[in-house]
Structure 1
């Protein structure tokens, strides 16, 4: 089945801020940035303390480049201020609270005023519209609901766009398939690996994933590659676009990808000021096009203004295309805290995905196991990856050898490859865990 031609966004009514010039946008950023820095200093004790210790004052911000004088905010700052120390408004003005899972430590808590929620919904709607979703479409929302920002953030944005929302949340994959067949949605919102899980489950039931009503997928909450996009688009006969966000900055909708270009997510710079820093020397602010760690400052948030938040996401800033004034994010290559240093070589799970999806015998389902055998000083990496259903035993051995060789060539590290049976690795209903570190703790 051939994918139908997708109409460009010229058939949609854009926000005024999507169409302004870069000069107008930067003037707006400066005005909003000056307000936000002063607002955070006056209302959030952490910021007053950090600015004072750093020897800077909000009046020092006279131009956009002056933002580099101010200290960073980290996830640890939010954890130390748990639960509500980062809030800039009284409790009665907080309309909603979200929080991280806290699986790697104390949860980070974020709050929203009514205006924050309205701005959030508008930006998610803007992102969905850029990705091809239109008013009147039915939208199947498979992001998790609850304290995680994905489900409710995507839901509010789809409603604000004028869509009919099917709020199924994550999990219950068989029911997801039933509702997709019965309700015939036009678009699906999910993590890329969970959409792959749904497609795999359809094939096991004898359903062709390309035969559904779905035309668009807006996918986020985890890094994914162009190879994964191609896999999903061919398998499901859809157009798949990225949506980016994180709870500490807002949630989904900080940036969104345009369906007509599919060349990276445009950051909505009327609400967020991005920077790229050297992940290993954060005092170095890098120029556009240079890869590094993404940093965000909010420009309009009331309940939880955030100044120079270190996301740990590794990417680069590129000129705008479909929205010329708003810069794009390159594909996220990984997180600085997900980087594996294996015998002196830096390695990210996305690199393995990119290589594996070029080998026809192998599926996108894989896990990385790090071990240090007893009596040895060198760490060992095992790539566990599922074979495709149609692959023979001979094909498995050949594919494992090719993957091992390609990782050595393109990443520079030796590893063991263990090709396992289809469906044997853990599936994801939300963010996928790729790395299993089983090395003895120091």
Structure 2
């Protein structure tokens, strides 16, 4: 086990000297940015936006055509608020125009990532090395608001590789986690025996913070409550990837005996916002992203609830300008600047990221995040929904390329069966469209039975 003292030195050396990354340089920049004035933050956003939009018009064929059709151009942006005049994009647009959304000057030099999509619409996208470094720096800054600093012990209850990985890759992952000062346990393997093992792991490792998918940490907290006994209390619990109710927050704080800091993000940008110790909303990463709330016509809303619309200020490889990520959110009720003193604006409640926890007949717990994590590996699937109609039956609805999907379907059935166990019947059905809920929301996992989670 690498000590915190060693990890504080080992990881910066690994990132900076061995990998040649500027993560810690960006972290210093972002740490300073959070304390600047509102006027300075506005000027920073404007300069970055103007550079990004000029690059898009010069280098990205899609935006050149898309904006011309809307009657706008990069030179029309004179204030940050002028962004509201530019058209929005979404996952369907990206899937249809992906190749022409990559900047000409960055072709062949970007990194690629796939997302299963928390709204059930998988797709892949490109990003630059610098944007990855900056995303890591923003995440580290957000976790620091919960009291964690690079090198502090951290235990993650997180999604791990679903497909088999080589022994060499496993060794590399363990070494990377050790250098980072992190230990990872899989939230995709939450049997009753493993819940006990995870609790013991927390006692042995004594992490300063526990990080995880909301639903996975809630299941672990329920297990801890049912099996009373002394256990290690971290300094903080950081929840992510799904909504957090007040009841869930209370359960987590009671079980772990630590305050909960909720974060908000998505795979396309990583951390969008995070709570500070005032818990009055999510401080937006406004020196890294421009986050708007918009109505159905793409008009920016100054108050109320709207669609989360994100512009990434640093991904020049495949720019995301006014991207609808599928979530709904509202402004924070906190007025003006947060009492913590940070200039970063506050986002209120985030809606639309509800992923039901499913269970198998033999007592396994399957967090809803398992399915978005799984589906990113299947190129023929464009949208999906998983319904648990009985304790021993799953119904999986798919939209996509049926003519190319037979091999994918066999692989999908195999991986789901491995996760849920042999007693679970799995029905897979191609459909023309995934149904929305009566409130108009898109749900990925739905538990239709009343039985409580095991």
Structure-to-structure mapping, 1:420-435, within 5 angstroms:
435=446
The alpha carbon displacement at 1:191 in A equals 1.2
Q: What is the count of residue pairs matched by the alignment?
A: 326
Residue in 1 that maps onto 2:44: 28
Paired position in structure 2 for 1:59? 75
Is the CA contact (8 Å cut-off) linking 2:160 and 2:188 kept in structure 1? no
1:134 — aligned with what?
A: 149
Deviation at 1:330, TM superposition (A): 0.4
After TM superposition, give the deviation of residue 26 of structure 1 in Å. 0.2
**Cα pair distance change 1:112/1:172, threshold 3 Å:** same
Match of 1:282, SS state, is coil
Equivalent residues in 2 for 1:228-239 (5 A)?
228-239=248-259
Q: Are residue 297 (structure 1) and residue 311 (structure 2) matched?
A: yes
Partners of 1:86 and 1:304 within 8 A in 2: yes
Shift of residue 164 of structure 1?
0.9
The list of structure 1 runs, each at least 4 consecutive aligned residues, that deviate by more than 6 angstroms after superposition, is: 102-106
* Equivalent position to 1:166, from 183, 203, 209: 183
Q: 1:76 to 1:320 in 2, by over 3 A?
A: farther
Change over 3 Å in CA distance of 1:203–1:297 after alignment to 2? same
Which aligned pairs between 1:233-382 and structure 2 lie closer than 5 A? 233-248=253-268, 250-251=269-270, 253-258=271-276, 260-278=277-295, 281-287=296-302, 289-318=303-332, 319-321=336-338, 322-334=340-352
Unaligned runs of 5+ in 1: 1-11, 149-155, 339-348, 351-364, 368-383, 387-424, 426-431
Any conservation in 2 of the 1:275–1:295 contact (CA below 8 Å)? yes
Work out which of the residue numbers 200, 218, 231 in structure 2 matches 1:211: 231
Structure 2 length normalisation: TM-score? 0.63
CA distance in 1, matches of 2:146, 2:107: 36
Give the corresponding residue for 1:180.
202
Contact map agreement 2:112 2:127 (CA 8 A) in 1: yes
SS at 2:290 equivalent:
strand
TM-score by length of 1: 0.65
Would you say the 8 A contact 1:188–1:216 is kept in 2?
yes
Q: Secondary structure at the match of 1:167?
A: strand
Following superposition, the deviation at residue 75 of structure 1 comes to 1.2
Distance 1:127 1:169 in 2: 23
The residue that corresponds to 2:97 in the other structure is 81
1:74-98 deviation digits (Å, cap 9, x = unpaired): 111122135x54333534422x322
- The CA deviation at 1:199 is 2.1
**Distance of aligned partners of 1:286 and 1:103 in 2 relative to their CA distance in 1, 3 Å threshold:** closer
- How many angstroms does 1:282 deviate by? 2.4
Aligned-pair distance for 1:16? 1.1
Mapped partners of 2:94, 2:36: distance in 1: 34
Residues 255, 103 of structure 1: CA spacing in aligned structure 2 closer, same or farther, 3 A cutoff? closer
Structure 2 gaps of 5+ residues are 1-26, 164-172, 357-365, 369-388, 392-423, 425-442, 450-454
1:217 positional shift:
1.3
Give how far 1:188 is off.
1.4
**SS state of the match for residue 142, structure 1?**
strand
RMSD: 3.9
